[in-house]
Amino acid sequence: MVSEISILIPVYNQNVSALVDNLLSQASQLAISFEIRVYDDGSSPETLAKNQSLGQRPGVIYRELPENLGRSQIRYLMAQEAKYNQLLFLDNDVLPRYPDFLSRYLQQFNGQVTVGGVAYQKKVLAGTELRWKYGKAREEAPAVQRQKTPYQRIFSSNFLVDRSLFLTYFPRKEVRGYGHEDTLFAHRLQENKIPVMHIDNPVWHLGLEPAQLFLLKTNEAILNLARLNQQMNLGQESRLYKLYHSLKKWKADVFLKENSSWLLPMIKRNLVSRNPSLYLFDLYRLLLLDRYLRK
């Protein structure tokens, strides 16, 4: 059982007081040494004002970075500066689903990488239907299902990892912007035969983006995926790539190329609606992937 832990929460424009208080309440009931590091990565003054008092809570280290480092580099920095060897990474827009969230991790950690999973609540806010549908269908899954393909659902939004292992394999600068730093990390773990254990210890993903913003992030993520594929031959095992290669096998990628200019805006109208289709979202991503792989 783990007896000490560094909880690391990178923050960007999100009030994390509820998350930190939840974790403090749980940790204070356990016979462990712990710290909670909250590093702000260039948030607005309004967000800073909401989070600055966290530094006054016992066990919390609050720090405001002078410039925005991005998703990969801030996690790497936090791992470097962490006090303990077991690192629990959490995104800033989540809350533990269970009151014994920390205890579950401490008791079930495999010593290397243990992934708790993500969950989505039943109620969806207007305008976030696409992000909610995608998360519910493609990200939320019980541990027994995730363990069948252990390297495909490694989300840095909720996992416990050995510090030296993280610093060795997590990308520091190879991934620019948003998306797929987890894909590269998982690839390196698989390459080096590092075992990954999935457990049922999810966090609620609460910060769902409006459809327009989610599509912008999707665009950036697909561009990153195409770059990783071209530079390192990554992503071949992903669901999206398997579908793309099936289309190429039957020469259907020509259809994507010849029709993307009118298909993309037409599909987008559905995706920003109150009833978006995940099938159309897959087609939207295929069109983007084909476009970026041809560059």
Domain count, the chain: 2
Distance CA 116, CA 49 (A): 31
Asked if 277 and 180 sit in the same domain, the reply is no
Asked if 192 and 276 sit in the same domain, the reply is no
- Give a yes or no: residue 160 inside a domain: yes
Q: Which of 217, 220, 178 is nearest to 41 (CA)?
A: 178
- Give a yes or no: residue 123 inside a domain: no
Q: Which of 48, 157, 163 is nearest to 93 (CA)?
A: 157
Asked if 258 and 176 sit in the same domain, the reply is no
| Cβ count near 39 (within 10 Å) | 21
User: What is the token pair recorded at 107?
Assistant: 């008791």
180 in the Ramachandran plot: left (φ > 0), alpha (ψ -120 to 50) or beta? left
Query: In b/e form, how buried is each residue of 129-161, taking b as 16+ CB within 10 angstroms?
Result: bbbbbbbbeebbbebeebeeebbebbbbbbbbb
Asked if 254 and 159 sit in the same domain, the reply is no
User: What is the token pair recorded at 207?
Assistant: 């910060």
- Give a yes or no: residue 122 inside a domain: no
Domain boundary among 171, 206, 241: 206
Asked if 173 and 97 sit in the same domain, the reply is yes
Residue 53: CATH number of its domain: 3.90.550.10
Distance CA 191, CA 199 (A): 22
In the chain, pLDDT over 90 holds for what percent of residues? 69
* Residues 234-266: tens digit of each pLDDT: 666 667 777 877 777 766 667 777 778 889 999
Asked if 233 and 183 sit in the same domain, the reply is no
Q: CB burial class (10 A; 0-12, 13-18, 19+) of residue 126? A: exposed
Q: What is the pLDDT of residue 294?
A: 75
Q: What is the pLDDT of residue 67?
A: 85
- Give a yes or no: residue 58 inside a domain: yes
Asked if 202 and 218 sit in the same domain, the reply is no
Asked if 182 and 289 sit in the same domain, the reply is no
- Give a yes or no: residue 130 inside a domain: no
The conformation of residue 118, written as its DSSP 8-state character, comes to E
* Residues 152-171: tens digit of each pLDDT: 888 889 999 999 999 999 87
Asked if 194 and 246 sit in the same domain, the reply is no
- Give a yes or no: residue 183 inside a domain: yes
User: What is the token pair recorded at 277?
Assistant: 């289709």
| E strand or H helix that includes residue 101 | helix 101-108
Asked if 107 and 237 sit in the same domain, the reply is no
Assign 136 a pLDDT band (cuts: 50, 70, 90).
very high
Mean pLDDT value across residues 128-154: 95
- Give a yes or no: residue 134 inside a domain: no
- Give a yes or no: residue 70 inside a domain: yes
Asked if 16 and 108 sit in the same domain, the reply is yes
The boundaries of the domain holding residue 280 are 212-293
Asked if 196 and 237 sit in the same domain, the reply is no
